[in-house]
């Protein structure tokens, strides 16, 4: 008996992510697949400020700004939770059994692309699916895209990059 195909869906809050989910829902055999839906919560501009828990560590003028920045990360987390739940519902509606779908929301450890690559390799996935996010030519030149970084670095795993529905 063949093992079910293991697919890792890497999603963010962009419209491309829902294209990824819909594409996978249309393409895979619902009875022969196990899908993990993954989102990485990137750092906000408050990166590293969570260590400043002491009232003496932050000047009173910056306390309000610190709370605002911490709130941005929580808002992003809640948005990504909504994205993951929406994605799971799309997969369920396509006939994929709930026991074959898992959801992971993680804080960024190294970098979004590297965290996705680590999960793909450590989880021994057959296929990694992600969307092509709309970035300008300048942004691609300066920073590269997550999909490009993943495509060039992942090993022993097929990569699908979904652009349109």
Residue 40 lies in a domain: no
The residue with greater pLDDT, 73 or 62, is: 73
Q: What is the pLDDT of residues 46-65, one digit of tens each?
A: 545 554 444 445 556 666 66
- pLDDT above 50 for 128: yes
What confidence score (pLDDT) does residue 134 get?
52
CB distance 151 to 159 below 8 Å: yes
Residue 133 lies in a domain: yes
Residue 39 lies in a domain: no
Residue 37 lies in a domain: no
Structurally, the chain folds into a number of domains equal to 1
φ and ψ at residue 100, rounded to 5 degrees: -100, 10
By C-alpha distance, which of 25, 18, 29 is closest to 92? 25
φ and ψ at residue 47, rounded to 5 degrees: -55, 130
Domain around 132: 5-29+46-162
Residue 64 lies in a domain: yes
Residue 91 lies in a domain: yes
Domain of residue 69, CATH code: 3.40.50.620
Q: Over range 4-30, report the average pLDDT.
A: 91
Residue 60 lies in a domain: yes
Q: How far apart are CA 27 and CA 10, in angstroms?
A: 16
This prediction's pTM: 0.79
């Amino acid at each position: 008996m063949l093992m079910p195909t293991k697919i890792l869906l890497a999603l963010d809050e962009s419209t491309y992510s829902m294209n990824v989910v819909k594409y996978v829902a249309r393409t895979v055999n619902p009875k022969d697949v196990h899908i993990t839906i993954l989102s990485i919560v990137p750092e906000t501009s408050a990166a590293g400020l969570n260590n400043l828990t002491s009232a003496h560590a932050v000047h009173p003028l910056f306390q309000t700004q610190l709370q605002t920045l911490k709130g941005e990360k929580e808002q992003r987390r809640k948005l990504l939770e909504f994205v993951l739940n929406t994605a799971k519902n799309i997969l369920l509606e396509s006939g994929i059994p709930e026991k074959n779908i898992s959801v992971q929301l993680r804080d960024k450890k190294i970098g979004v692309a590297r965290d996705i690559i680590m999960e793909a390799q450590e989880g021994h996935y057959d296929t990694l699916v992600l969307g092509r996010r709309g970035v300008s030519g300048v942004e691609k030149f300066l920073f590269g895209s997550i999909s490009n970084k993943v495509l060039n670095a992942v090993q022993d795993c097929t990569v699908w990059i979904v652009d349109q529905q």
